[in-house]
Amino acid sequence: MKYAEIGTDRTGMKTNNAGSYRITKYGDPDAMRRKHPVVIITADVRTKRIMGIEAHIEGTGPSEPETAQKHVREAVMKGINVTEFYGDGAFDTNDLFTLVHAIGASPIIKIRKNASTDHHRGSKYRRKAVREYQEKGYRQWAEENNYGMRWPGTEGIFSAVKRKFGENCVSRSTEGLEAEGYQRIWVYDYINQRAKKEVKSQN
């Protein structure tokens, strides 16, 4: 059985090539009507292998927690034993905590500042996590749970993709923008995993 520590996060991509100086000086008259693509990925934080992608125009499509739940379920259906799930405050939802517990994984999810431990509603698994987080404080909780591991698995991938392919999309249609989001992530993942195999074969 395969084991994986996975994390989910999102990033936005630009749809114009205007430089920051030009926008700062002259403004961006098309900003309100411009379509901004959003890409959400789930990846193994250890190997940086992509396990799921969701790309859509901002304001449409599933939320980050909904996407994470879909990707987690897909991973389990493929026979992957998810041991930890990493996420920022956007993933602090009752349904996600319940799902992570149901598959036997540990939720390494940052708790929102206004989180409540109300016993009459929500997930009991989230309430337990909220109490632990509030008792220890962010720094101790993050250190004990290796929260920093989510960065190489998600933010690191986004950073590498944007360095490699840029962050400006060339498409103008909704379908084209969404396709670019998928393609850039999948191509990066193919290159990354192929390179690792080549290095491993030479050692």
In tens, the pLDDT along 78-101 reads 999 999 999 999 999 999 999 999
- Cα separation of the two ends of the chain: 25
Q: What's residue 17's pLDDT? A: 55
Is the pLDDT confidence value at 197 over 50? yes
Fold of 2-192: Nucleotidyltransferase; domain 5 (3.30.420)
Angstrom distance (rounded) from CA 150 to CA 146: 8
Phi/psi for 149 (5° steps) reads -65, -20
Q: How confident is the model at residue 38 (pLDDT cuts 50, 70, 90)?
A: very high
Which is nearest to 110 in space by CA: 151, 138, 143, 68?
138
Angstrom distance (rounded) from CA 111 to CA 108: 9
Is the pLDDT confidence value at 109 over 80? yes
Angstrom distance (rounded) from CA 23 to CA 181: 24
Annotate 125-161 with b (16+ C-beta within 10 A) or e (fewer). Answer: bbbebbeebeeeeeeebeeebebebbebbbeebbeeb
Are residues 79 and 1 in contact, defined by beta-carbon separation less than 8 angstroms? yes
**Token digits for 25?**
């000086």
Pick 124 or 116 by higher pLDDT: 124
- The reported pTM is 0.85
Total residues belonging to the chain: 203
Q: What is the mean pLDDT of residues 33-38?
A: 74
Chain mean pLDDT for the chain: 86
Is beta strand 50-57 parallel, antiparallel or unpaired with respect to 106-109? Answer: unpaired
Is the pLDDT confidence value at 119 over 80? no
In tens, the pLDDT along 60-84 reads 889 999 999 999 999 999 999 999 9
Q: How confident is the model at residue 120 (pLDDT cuts 50, 70, 90)?
A: low
